[in-house]
Amino acid sequence: MNAAPAPAAPRGVDDLKLAAVWGVLAALAVVALMPYLAQTMPERFARLPVPLGLVMVLQALQTVVLIGAMAWLGLRMGHRVGLGSPVLRAWLVDRTRLDWTRLRPATSALLGLGAGLAIVALSPLSDRWLPPMAHPPAHVGAQASAINGALASFYGGIAEELQLRLFLMTLLVWGVARLRRDPPGAGVYWAAILVAALLFGAGHLPTAAQVWGLTPGVVARTLLLNAVGGVVFGWLYWRRGLEMAMLGHLCADLVLHVAVPLIGLVRP
């Protein structure tokens, strides 16, 4: 029996619509990130040559274009390898009802919370690798820090997932599939998950370097702790789609950037 032909990829204009929505949401997330960056890198923000409002507008416009383009490419490549944005596609393009029992958002959120708790548990073990802080974050109080962290969590959940999972991880799997001219196996997806997770950690090195400097211990700690979350988010993207990876990432960041400062508020 002849194999059934592969279904045609959805129209590029439909993917463009989804990418535009993701680009705008990522731009809003970049704006929401700014108070957290001002808290963690106060010296750099004090030296801004232009008003902060202008910086936010320019960053937002740049994000719409760059991450929007990355999202469109990721969506186009994802059709061949079974990766994509099923929730937004169902809402905006297909106009179909979602099978939430397959996506299991509650479980995805719990996995994200578990990843955040694992990072919290591992942090004291790796803190011994850190040198004294070269540029400590600004002291804004636990409640203000939690608010800034909550806003910043949307950047992780939206913008970072669009870059690291929808674009990069999809590109890695698609590239292997194109070279082999065969559907990718589970090993290809796992390799892409691990590579994207390590690069996810590498993306946090500039912030870590601003606080501690860039020593081997800082590099190792930053890569390893962020890879814990990156593997979980990558698996969610592979098995349940972009939105569930975003949900897991958001929940992990809420543990790290909201719960931890608030718990510090009530410690003796």
Residue 71 confidence (pLDDT) above 90: yes
Tokens of 197: 């997770």
For the chain, the average pLDDT equals 90
The pLDDT tens digits of the residues spanning 127-153 come to 888 888 877 777 767 788 889 999 999
Residue 27 confidence (pLDDT) above 80: yes
Q: What is the DSSP letter of 168?
A: I
Using left for φ > 0, alpha for ψ between -120 and 50, and beta otherwise, residue 141 falls in left
Residue 11 confidence (pLDDT) above 80: no
Determine the pLDDT at residue 268: 36
Q: At what angle do helices 52-81 and 170-180 cross, to 10 degrees?
A: 30
The pLDDT tens digits of the residues spanning 82-137 come to 999 999 999 999 888 888 888 999 999 999 999 999 999 999 888 888 888 877 77
Residue 45 confidence (pLDDT) above 60: yes
For the ranges 6-10, 46-50, 161-165, the maximum mean pLDDT occurs at 161-165
Determine the pLDDT at residue 40: 81
Determine the pLDDT at residue 10: 65
Determine the pLDDT at residue 9: 60
DSSP letters spanning 245-264: HHHHHHHHHHIIIIIHHHHH
What are the structural domain ranges in the chain?
A: 12-266
Determine the pLDDT at residue 99: 84
Using left for φ > 0, alpha for ψ between -120 and 50, and beta otherwise, residue 95 falls in left
pTM: 0.90
Separation in Å, CA 157 to CA 52, 85, 95, 112: 23, 14, 24, 10
Residue 231 confidence (pLDDT) above 50: yes
Tokens of 258: 């909201």
Determine the pLDDT at residue 162: 98
